[in-house]
Amino acid sequence: MDAHPRLLDPLFRGPIGVLFNDGHRLQRMLDFEAALSRAEAKTGVIPAAAVPSVEAKCRAELFDFQALASAAVSAGNLAIPMVKHLTSLVASEDPEAARYVHWGATSQDVIDTGLILQLREAFDWMEPQLHALGEAIANLADHHRETLMVARTLLQQALPTTFGLKAAGWLDAVARHLTRMREIRGRDLTLQFGGAAGTLAALREKGIAVAGALADELKLPRPNAPWHSHHDRFAEIAAVLGLLAGTLGKIARDIALLMQTEVGEVREPSSNERGGSSAMPHKHNPVGSVVALAAATRLPGLVSTMLTAMTLDHERGVGGWHAEWETLADIVTLTGGSLFHMSGVVSELHIDGDAMAKNLQRSHGQIMAEAVATGLAERLGRADAQMIVEQACAKAAADGTELRAALVSDLRVRQALPAGDLEWLLSPHNYLGSSEKLIDRILASWHEAK
């Protein structure tokens, strides 16, 4: 088993990393072998007496990992030396049972199905995490539906919005990912069992029966046919997780930008020196967001590898299949690490409503320019209204004054807009459009999706 974890795994992969360490990878391959022996005994292919001896040796701790790794160099995969060693272990106590180890299967069957079992465990871990993240975001969206803040386009102040609506946007994407994850579980996490060339010929007339029994043993759906060289399932899993990592990265990007000293509208949780600096005592870094952004940066290239690997040759791929082994594990664990960190960040995210209110005033009222132009357009026409407000914005910027003062100094504005109407148009609270309804729709959709 793994003597020492890789030093960066807890940072970038979090708890899900253990599901893809060497010991776990080997154990899930051995689980396939044990289940195969049971399925073949049930269908009369091998003697039932052989099963206990095979099952007893399907334990990863009985294997020499260094010897397996060395043998894989010559064999080209881990399955060949694993089956050889398993056979030897069984033979040491039951030579007759050893004859039936790996009966009718091929290396790709044990490797791919072992990976499917790992992926199922990963999804079992990720789905509740994604649900918890969505719940935390939903709470933010509901609680801060009236917390005013600046909406920013191209990193510039644009219009008033609410933090609740920003969070609702995150939630809407998370709900889609939860739906995708549930969809691909049934479609992609299926048994891989085809024998040497996908025909199950070694099992003769019992091939389909063994495949069905094996699927039942492993509690996996049975596909219509073996899929040795059709890996759209793995590619779809990779793509869906790549999308999830991208959304987590988008949330992380928003949080990191809002944490900038000059903005200061949100803050990641701080405890046990979290986010500190080795040199600057005052720093509070967005460490959770950093992990999510790192994953979002790495995932596109890894997903590209999985898509490229789909062009497998004939009935067994040359290189493409092999390229998937570490790549898909990286995709799952990096996405899982990102999800783990962002769930923690969002659940304890500090929202500074005072800073948001203060930043609303930084443009001296110019974020309300569209609102005023819209109000004037109803009386003067769009083109004239746009020109008048642009001139007022330029004057306010040049004089260093509030937009209100520049507007009031313009006779055309005073004639077109009573003072009370102008004040109403300049209030951010009055220019939130359909924000409340949009939040309600997204929250309702989330409750349905979860």
- Specify whether 316 is catalytic: yes
5 and 39 in a common domain: yes
Residue 1 is predicted with a pLDDT of 46
Residue with tokens 């990992």: 65
Phi, psi of 431 (to 5 degrees): -130, 50
341 and 383 in a common domain: no
Fill in the amino acid letter for 43. T
58 and 37 in a common domain: yes
148 and 55 in a common domain: no
d(CA 34, CA 101): 9
331 and 383 in a common domain: no
Q: Which helix (H) or strand (E) holds 391?
A: helix 382-399
**Helix (H, G, I), strand (E, B), or coil: what is residue 157?**
strand
Q: Which of 92, 277, 304, 434 is catalytic?
A: 277
d(CA 368, CA 400): 16
Q: Which of 361, 395, 428 is the last residue of a domain?
A: 361
- Domain presence at residue 197: no
CATH of the domain at 378: 1.10.40.30
- Domain presence at residue 195: no
412 and 326 in a common domain: no
- Domain presence at residue 237: yes
First to last CA, the chain: 37
CB 338 within 8 A of CB 242: no
Residue 6 is predicted with a pLDDT of 81
User: DSSP string of 335-359?
Assistant: HHHHHHHHHHHHHT-EE-HHHHHHH
Q: How many domains, the chain? A: 3
Fill in the amino acid letter for 133. L
206 and 154 in a common domain: no
Give per-residue burial for 199-226: e unless 16+ CB within 10 Å, then b.
ebebbeebbebbbbbbbebbebebbeeb
- Specify whether 277 is catalytic: yes
393 and 286 in a common domain: no
Q: Which of 361, 385, 413 is the last residue of a domain?
A: 361
249 and 262 in a common domain: yes
Domain enclosing residue 289, as ranges: 106-190+227-361
- Domain presence at residue 78: yes
User: DSSP string of 42-93?
Assistant: HTTSS-GGGHHHHHHH--GGGS-HHHHHHHHHHHSSSHHHHHHHHHHHHHTT
Residue 148 is predicted with a pLDDT of 98
Long-range contacts of 313-316 (CB under 8 A, 24+ apart): 313/229, 314/229, 315/197, 315/198, 315/228, 315/229, 316/108, 316/197, 316/228, 316/229
CATH of the domain at 55: 1.10.275.10
Residue 292 is predicted with a pLDDT of 97
Q: Which helix (H) or strand (E) holds 156?
A: strand 156-162
**Helix (H, G, I), strand (E, B), or coil: what is residue 269?**
coil
pLDDT digits (tens, 9 = 90+) for 20-66: 999 999 999 999 999 999 999 999 999 999 999 999 999 999 999 99
pTM equals 0.93
10 and 90 in a common domain: yes
**Pairing label, strands 350-351, 266-267:** antiparallel
Angle between helices 207-218 and 22-42 (to 10 degrees): 130
418 and 313 in a common domain: no
Q: Which of 319, 337, 361 is the last residue of a domain?
A: 361
Q: How many CB atoms are closer than 10 A to CB 56?
A: 15
Q: Which of 59, 253, 316, 379 is catalytic?
A: 316
pLDDT mean by block of 10 residues, the chain; 450 residues:
70 92 97 98 98 98 96 96 98 97 97 98 97 97 97 96 98 97 95 96 97 98 96 98 98 97 92 58 80 97 97 94 96 97 96 97 95 94 94 94 94 93 96 97 92
d(CA 365, CA 420): 16
